[in-house]
């Protein structure tokens, strides 16, 4: 039997004592796909000290890479071949300007921080995504990741707690770029996949798969899980003999009922929100994805990712604004109102509901866009794109500079960290790598990643993060 990975540095390492949470995890994950009941037991074993809310993160992922120049790092004095048509707009924090297409965000700059100096070597969408999401430093594209993404690593490392929703939920999942897989648990195994919510939450008939027993697919899935009872019972008896688990069947039943529980139904049910709240986020897919993300973290989910792509992006359904795909300036103008409304409403709601010390909102994509404007014939007519053959402006991939937005999380907001040169090509102060970004994420989630490693399927140890330091300017101000 092939074993799944284990954290090899747990709190009892070197003491001669075995951490029973890790023993159970090791035993249970030996049965691929059979770990969920065990996770409930692990939650009970690991949650005896506190009921205080734990930190959480909402990741808003801009698939394809947004232009830093037309969002959070405008360069109005650049030469014409670099400069777009949009001007900076002053925010409510003196000295901080962002693009004029983001008027709502300009009014709440005191509630977020902008990091303008992220740089890496991954020039393709898969490579850039893997660098930012998993810390893989390889510059070339891969068909699938080698290392697990930070969302599943965090889900794996954080102790489970009883009676709560899954730790990690993906609302319009961050998982693929065309035929490439850009995120996933890799050698951590399928039991660490997020609970995935797909579809448009703004549609009247939208329904979360698994939150309704009338859903035939989900019912069949639960039946298939229940058919595994004999093997689970066998495992449960062996663990009971070691004195480590009691009432295994109860936890199996809880696992099978998780996604049809009243708590789950309520967390995913946007109809419970007042109309004015739903309107404030925007009655469109991105707005309602963000509203669901807020509801989930408020209900106890600790990691929520949500991807902004699809028709609200323009013709090719992403932020990849090559001239062959989009007229870059028409594209950013088309999508900016949806983006501006959804993200600003999410940030304001996090603060209004008193979640700003607990929940960190992160907005980023895999890289920025080329400062020098390119001109290429369009490959087809559509939203934000001229007819096929018409030459139009675009910006290409640019891993040498990217901007990220951070809100809440107990950090000092109303600040800009780092700077790029006058053209927006390269950082000139506070250059930050994706691994620094990941170290910052782990710090917020209160995970001591330094020196920790997990076993891969070959039995070799893999560091959680072999380099990178948390960004000090994004540290919590209240601990």
pLDDT 10s digits, 129-156 = 999 999 999 999 999 999 999 999 999 8
Across the range 328-343, mean pLDDT stands at 98
Query: Residue 454's pLDDT is what?
Result: 79
Residue 164: pLDDT band by 50, 70, 90 thresholds?
low
Sheet of 56-62: strands edge to edge?
195-197, 168-171, 303-308, 56-62, 359-364, 402-408, 112-118, 415-417
> Which of 199, 109, 129 shows the shortest CA–CA distance to 415?
109
| Predicted structure pTM score | 0.84
Residue 53: pLDDT band by 50, 70, 90 thresholds?
confident
Contacts of 203 (CB under 8 A, 6+ apart): none
Query: Residue 207's pLDDT is what?
Result: 87
**Which spans in 269-384 are helix H?**
275-281, 285-299, 328-352
Six token digits for residue 235: 């495992």
Q: Is the pLDDT of residue 65 over 80?
A: yes
Query: Residue 457's pLDDT is what?
Result: 67
Query: Residue 459's pLDDT is what?
Result: 74
SS3 for 161? coil
pLDDT digits (tens, 9 = 90+) for 392-438: 999 999 999 999 999 999 999 999 999 999 999 999 999 999 999 99
CA 228 – CA 34 distance, rounded (Å):
8
Contacts of 238 (CB under 8 A, 6+ apart): none
Query: Residue 22's pLDDT is what?
Result: 42
CA 189 – CA 3 distance, rounded (Å):
10
Q: Is the pLDDT of residue 33 over 70?
A: no
Across the range 8-33, mean pLDDT stands at 37
The rounded Cα 320 to chain-centroid distance in angstroms is: 19
Average predicted confidence (pLDDT) for the chain: 83
Contacts of 346 (CB under 8 A, 6+ apart): 58, 60, 281, 290, 291, 293, 294, 361
Helices 434-444 & 125-134 angle (0-180, nearest 10): 40
Q: Is 301 left (phi over 0), alpha (psi -120 to 50) or beta?
A: beta
């Amino acid at each position: 039997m092939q074993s799944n990975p284990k954290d090899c540095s747990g709190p009892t390492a070197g003491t001669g004592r075995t951490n029973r949470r890790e023993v159970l995890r090791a035993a249970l994950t030996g049965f691929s796909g059979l770990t969920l009941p065990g996770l409930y037991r692990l939650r009970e074993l690991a949650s005896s000290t506190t009921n205080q809310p734990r930190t959480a993160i909402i990741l808003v992922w801009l698939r394809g890479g947004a232009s830093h120049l037309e969002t959070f790092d405008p360069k109005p004095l650049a030469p014409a071949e670099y400069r777009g048509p949009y001007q900076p707009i002053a925010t409510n924090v003196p000295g901080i300007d962002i693009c004029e297409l983001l008027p709502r965000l300009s009014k709440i700059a005191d509630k977020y921080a902008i990091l303008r100096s992220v740089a890496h070597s991954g020039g393709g969408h898969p490579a850039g995504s893997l660098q930012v999401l998993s810390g893989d430093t390889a510059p070339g594209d891969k068909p699938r990741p080698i290392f697990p993404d930070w969302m599943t690593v965090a889900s794996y490392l954080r102790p489970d707690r009883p009676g709560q929703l899954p730790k990690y939920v993906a609302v319009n999942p961050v998982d693929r770029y065309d035929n490439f897989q850009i995120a996933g648990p890799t050698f951590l195994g399928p039991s660490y996949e997020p609970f995935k919510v797909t579809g448009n939450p703004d549609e009247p008939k939208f329904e979360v798969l698994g939150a309704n027993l009338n859903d035939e697919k989900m019912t069949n899935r639960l039946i298939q899980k229940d058919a595994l009872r004999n093997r689970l019972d066998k495992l449960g008896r062996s663990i009971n003999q070691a004195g480590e688990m009691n009432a295994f069947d109860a936890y199996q039943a809880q696992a099978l009922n998780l996604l049809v529980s009243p708590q789950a139904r309520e967390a995913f049910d946007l109809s419970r929100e007042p109309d004015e709240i739903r309107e404030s986020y925007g009655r469109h897919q991105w707005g309602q994805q963000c509203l669901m993300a807020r509801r989930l973290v408020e209900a106890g989910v600790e990691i929520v990712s949500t991807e902004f792509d699809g028709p609200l992006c323009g013709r090719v359904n992403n932020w990849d604004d090559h001239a062959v795909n989009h007229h870059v300036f028409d594209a950013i103008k088309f999508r900016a109102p949806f983006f501006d409304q959804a993200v600003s409403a999410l940030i304001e709601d996090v603060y209004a509901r008193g979640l700003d010390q607990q929940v960190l909102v992160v907005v980023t994509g895999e890289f920025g866009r080329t400062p020098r404007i390119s001109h290429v014939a369009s490959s087809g007519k559509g939203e934000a794109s001229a007819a096929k053959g018409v030459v139009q402006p675009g910006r290409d991939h640019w891993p040498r500079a990217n901007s990220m937005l951070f809100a809440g999380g107990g950090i000092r907001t109303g600040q800009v960290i780092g700077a790029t040169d006058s053209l927006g090509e390269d950082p000139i102060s506070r250059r930050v790598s994706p691994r620094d970004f990941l170290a910052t994420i782990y710090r917020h989630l209160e995970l001591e990643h330094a020196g920790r490693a997990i076993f891969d399927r070959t039995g070799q140890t893999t560091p959680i993060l072999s380099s990178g330091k948390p960004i000090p300017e994004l540290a919590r101000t209240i601990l």
